Amino acid sequence: MSDSATPTVDAVELTVRNPASGELVGTVAVSTPDEVTAAAAALRAAQPRWASISAAGRKQWLLKLQDWVLDHTDELADSIQDESGKPRVEAEVEVAFTVDLLGYYARNAAKFLADTAVSPHTPLMRIKKLTTTYTPYPVVGIITPWNFPLAMPTSDLVPALAAGAAVLLKPSEVTPLTPLVLARGWAEIGAPPVFTVVSGSGATGAAVVDNADFVQFTGSGPTGRRIAVACAERTRPYSLEMGGKDPAIVLADADLDRAVNGITFGALTNAGQLCVSVERVYVEAAVYDEFVNKLVAHVETLRLGRDDRSGNIDVGPLANQAQLDIVTRHVDDALARGARALTGGKATGEGNFFEPTVLVDVDHSMSCITEETFGPTIPVIKVADENEAIRLANDSEYGLSASVWTGNKSRGQKIARRLTVGAVNINDATINLFNFALPHGGWGQSGTGYRFGGVDGVRKYCRKQAITAPALPTQKSELVWYPYSLKNFGFMRNAMRAAGARGRRRFGR
């Protein structure tokens, strides 16, 4: 994952190359810290008007952006392919994801942000009308990684805008082009100036953190922890998503064909560069050999290479040389320790391609099991039963998501609740990301807070305000106001005890 908020000195210009070919596809000027500060100030000045038009008014702008995205699908997909090298289908999935997300939050934000009437905790407080309101943070700083140049930024941008915040977005320095296309679309529809993209790496990201009222970061653990410290020092709220090592559990009663197809997709989509990609597979011994044979046969049918608009490629390249080095190190480490690659196992030597790889005879001493790989590998481990599978699946510092493959629905539900992760897919993989009504977030070193999804995906970008108001005609003074009186307080105390205590203690006995 990108370390794009590390406070290092940036170059004057970012050079973007297609990882499938190495060819230059564009350059982007780096935003200096002073420019980031100025951008944040402009957003802060524009944000009150954006908040004042209400969720209903913001809905119209989000739907206009949705129209623009649909009308520019090819341009956006071309840009995604140019800077990421991914297959055409995966590029267009990002566009479809964005369209769906815009529609969901545009149509639901008003309901999610409506004042909430709160029931009093005790009958004594029924004399009060209790309300919770939601006021957006003025400027939300968003820092995103390189694996999905469009879908990563929009996952955070859309709910933040829907909440009424202004957004200062810093995409990864590896894939900075597509977010600029989206920002151009926001300007072309004539939307208020509450969305700005700043480009750069460490110094730019640090300036975003310094100038934001709320920070949403997705990327590596070390950078996320540094951002958490910086936010804590400024008493700024934040949310972090910092990767995963997601396990899949295949039980003996599973539909093995579906499990093979789903796990292959879940592990290798976007060349494995997905936060919720399957990175470990635990298979019950009774079906282990059959599963592995089917898995290898399926993986060997996948088409690896550089795609064009034809959509004839399944697996594309890794994003950069650094990621290729990580995947190579993990596979080489496993092979040196006794693992076997039943298919794949090495870089192709062209571009940043690495062969889709199935590893067996692996264990929890190997980096391919303990560290986030973020590449096209599928390590498989044989287990005696579901208890061993659950124990090993939970043996990780990460806890983003998992999948369980079983023919017994009840069994799948029970196992899901024993896994220490933020999301579990039963007989499916990665699908939780496309169900926007669900919260998306990780446990452990996978992050803190929830990134997007449902009502909390919008409310996270708001400050809650509690309001009390009289529900009945008021008196000139309350029983517990000055001057103090034990007699008056005694009446109040006895009423509180009668309403809240239990048994004879309710009556002071």
Which residues form the catalytic set?
A: 241, 275
Phi/psi region, residue 288 (left: phi>0; alpha: psi -120 to 50; beta: rest), is alpha
Q: What is the CA radius of gyration of the chain?
A: 26
- Alpha carbons 305 and 345: distance in angstroms, whole number: 16
Structure tokens that stand for 60 in this block: 């119209």
Q: What is the separation of C-alpha 349 from the centre of its chain, rounded to a whole number of angstroms?
A: 32
- Alpha carbons 246 and 396: distance in angstroms, whole number: 9
- Alpha carbons 215 and 36: distance in angstroms, whole number: 14
Q: Which residues contact 265 (CB under 8 A, 6 or more apart)?
A: 429, 430
First to last CA, the chain: 63
CA distance to 46, 150, 164, 236, per residue, from 139 (Å): 10, 21, 10, 11
Residue found by looking up tokens 């200096």 in the block: 32
Looking at residue 506, what DSSP letter applies?
G
3-state secondary structure 37-98: HHHHHHHHHHHHHHHHCHHHHHHHHHHHHHHHHHHCHHHHHHHHHHHHCCCHHHHHHHHHHH
- Alpha carbons 309 and 109: distance in angstroms, whole number: 35
Helix (H, G, I), strand (E, B) or coil at 443: strand
Q: What is the separation of C-alpha 501 from the centre of its chain, rounded to a whole number of angstroms?
A: 43
Structure tokens that stand for 449 in this block: 């807070």
Question: Pairing state of beta strands 238-241 and 447-448?
Answer: antiparallel
> How many C-beta neighbours within 10 Å does residue 250 have?
27
Phi/psi region, residue 445 (left: phi>0; alpha: psi -120 to 50; beta: rest), is alpha
- Alpha carbons 38 and 21: distance in angstroms, whole number: 37
Residue found by looking up tokens 């995205």 in the block: 69
DSSP string over 225-276? HHHHHHHHHTT--EEEE----EEEEE-TTS-HHHHHHHHHHHHHGGGG-STT
Strand partners, 133: 465
